[in-house]
Every structure is written in structure tokens, then in C-alpha cells.
Structure 1
Amino acid sequence: MLVLRSSPASPFGRKVKIVARTLGLIDRIDIVATDTSNPDDRIRAVNPLGKIPALEIGDGETLYDSRVIVEYLDWLGGGGRVIPADPAARFAALRLQALCDGLCDAALLQVYEIRLRAETERSVRWAELQAGKVSRALAFLEAAPPAQVTEIGQIALACALGYLDLRFEGRWRADHPKLVAWLDDFASANPAFAATAAH
């Protein structure tokens, strides 16, 4: 049995869970709720960075981060299913994943700035820098939403938008109608998206 250490709110963990469901591998994975802020949580023993998600694959081996785990799951599922084999399609999918993961990173840093720093220690400039990354990524994607296929780039985008809904009250929706429609279509075509939502 594989062991996935994650948390319900993690967009990166959600990406891995959607991939596992899409590939029919979810029944082979034990999902363990993880608290990265707890020094006694096992995550620090299996990933020196103490970050999630982390996938224990047996014999003391652990894979991290989400991009590496997704590569492993795609291979385990036969290859070329969520990460295309054709080079042009593959690198387009990986580039989209990188953009959407970067969007998530910037959103997470904004959340951490509030959650982990006292109000007197917070940097408005830092928060604005991260918000700018999110804004530019959304504008880029709104101008040309990706094709409606279930590949890693699209899965990463759905998770990024879902995280903005969760942590930023869906404020992105007002100025990005094409992405709202895109996410609705993705969710309709991929039941794994609703099944992995944080509550």
C-alpha cells in the first residue's frame, strides 16, 4: 500500500489525489492527514523539508514534491495518461502545470504571511508581490483558457482555482468569466474534482 501524506486544503495534495483517481490508483493509496506545523508529525521523518504531499512507496523510499509524485503515478498507471508522451504535448502540459503550481505557491505565501506572522511583522510589499503573480497568471489563462482535457496542466489549473475559492473567497471569479466557465466544465467532466474538495 502506498501512503500519501497530505492535508485536505493542500492544492498540491489535491492534484495528486485527482491524478490517482483519474488513473484508477486511489484504492492503492492510504491517505494520511498531515500537520506540517507539528514537529512530532511523521512528515519530517519521510521528507526532510517537512512539506506535503509526500508519497511513501515502500522499502523506506518517499517521493516529493507533487510533480515527482504525479510522474510516478502516471508511470504506475501505464504512462502517457495524464502526462502526454508526445514531446510537444508533454512540455505544453508540464509548462501549464508549472504556471499553475507557481500561482498556488504565490497564493500560499499570501496565506502564510497572515497566518504565520504577527500583524506588526507582515510585509505589505511582499504580499503585493505575490498577489501580482497570481493576478498575472490569471490574466494570462483568462486570455486563452486551455483545452478541456484531463492532463496534468488542466488538473493543476483546477486545483489552483479551487484553492483561490477556498482561501480567497472566490474573488478571482468576478474578473475571469472564461476561467469560471472552464472550471465548471472541468468539474462536470471530472468527478474527482468534487471528491477531493476541502470542506
Structure 2
Amino acid sequence: MKLFWSSRSPFVRKVMIVAHELGIAERIEHVRTVVHPAKPNAEVMAFHPISKIPALISDDGQAIYDSRVICEYLDDRFGKGALLPASGPGRWQVLTRHSMIDALTETCVMWNGERRKPQELRDEQIVAASAVRVTSGLNALEADIAFFEEEGLTLAHAAAASALAYLDFRLDTFAWRESQPRLSRWFAEFSKRPSFVETAFADVY
């Protein structure tokens, strides 16, 4: 398998955390990829028409995207549902949490992009709104922490770990731990997992 990949993407990291947890990380070839909203990547667009990563090319040549679909594909093919229940309330609980956490991550990415702009081009309303939305998402995770503390590992756990790691990577001045103490403790424990250690962010192209 091939994965259009970046060491700076929280969505790529989530996929690779899942791959490590399933014991298949070594089966995935990383295709180092740079994508930018203003510069469509022709190589990626041959597989993902919107030029976004991650995109996975399966062993039989099928293109699979986005990160949520890739995670479900890997779990279905190699984990036999180990990280996502096949049916029933448990499945929808994991999928709903995964969706919310991806929205949280997308907001973090947008926030980081906006705050890095020159001041004369920065939209402070977007910066402020992003902080409100991220705080709301973290509060939701804190309120829901029993799921993460008590449930076995799921796709939602991998997504949450990647999102929190991205906060530390790109928005490290945003002090969230005091307001979400149980989430902070859970993240500290998850951070010891080999799947997390082996997928560390790196600010390289």
C-alpha cells in the first residue's frame, strides 16, 4: 500500500497511529507529499481529485480517502473490526466521536493557518472564533472522558490523540490542560504508546 503522507498532518498521523496499532505500519509506503490550497498537487490529484492528504492506494490500486475512510478500511481489512464495532450503538458512538474530533482538528488547522498570516492579512474574527470552537470541543472531550478512559482502543482514541498532539505542535501557546485535567492525564498516558511515539510530528517538507 502507498500513502500520500506528510509528517506535519494530524490526519496522516491519525491514520498511521491506527496502522501501528493494527501491526501493519511497515506495509505502508510513505509518499512524501506537499499540498497547499493555492497549489494543487497534480500527482495527488491523479488519485484524489481535490488534492488532499492523506490518500491511500490499496494493494489492488484502489484510491481510498479521506482519513476517516482510510482508518475504517484498515480496521475492516486488517483489524476485523478491532477499532470500530461492526454494528449497534457502539458503532455510532465511535463514529460520532470520530467525526467531532476531526472537526476539532480541522478547526485547529484553520486556526493555525490564520494566525500565521501577516497581521495585515489576518482575520482576527476567525482566530477568536477558532479558539472558542476548539475550547468547546475540548470541553466535550473532557465531559466524555469516561469513554476514553474505560473503553478499549477505538478509532476515536487515535483521532483524539492526534488532535491533541497537533495542538501541542502548532498551537503550543494555547493552554488547555488546566481546564481539561482528566483529558490531559489520558493524553499523557496515550502518549506513551509506541504507535504515538513512532508517528511524531516533524516540521519538514
TM-score, normalization: structure 2? Answer: 0.88
The letter of the residue matching 1:20 is A
The letter of the residue matching 1:98 is S
In 1, are the aligned partners of 2:104 and 2:137 still within 8 Å (CA)? yes
**1:65-80 equivalence runs, <5 A:** 65-80=66-81
Q: How many residues align?
A: 196
Question: 1:40: Cα distance to partner?
Answer: 5.1
Match of 2:8 in 1: 9
Instruction: Find the partner of 2:195 among 177, 192, 195.
Output: 192
Question: 1:59: Cα distance to partner?
Answer: 5.1
The letter of the residue matching 2:170 is R
In 1, are the aligned partners of 2:41 and 2:51 still within 8 Å (CA)? no
CA 59–154 in structure 1, closer or farther in 2 if over 3 Å, else same? closer
- Give me the whole-angstrom Cα distance separating, in 1, the residues matched to 2:182 and 2:41: 44
CA 184–94 in structure 1, closer or farther in 2 if over 3 Å, else same? same
In 2, are the aligned partners of 1:35 and 1:41 still within 8 Å (CA)? no
Question: 1:35: Cα distance to partner?
Answer: 0.4
Match of 2:136 in 1: 136
In 1, are the aligned partners of 2:4 and 2:30 still within 8 Å (CA)? yes
In 2, are the aligned partners of 1:164 and 1:172 still within 8 Å (CA)? no
- Give me the whole-angstrom Cα distance separating, in 2, the residues matched to 1:83 and 1:51: 24
Q: Can you give the 5+ residue segments of structure 2 that lack an aligned partner in the other structure?
A: none
Does 1:168 pair with 2:167?
no
Q: Can you give the 5+ residue segments of structure 1 that lack an aligned partner in the other structure?
A: none
Match of 1:24 in 2: 23
Question: 1:88: Cα distance to partner?
Answer: 1.1
Deviations 1:93-148 (A, max 9, x none): 11111111111010000111134x44322211122222211010111211231333
Does 1:155 pair with 2:158?
yes
Query: Which structure carries more helix by proportion?
Result: 1
Match of 1:93 in 2: 94
Match of 1:102 in 2: 103
The letter of the residue matching 1:176 is Q
* Identity across matched positions, percent: 37
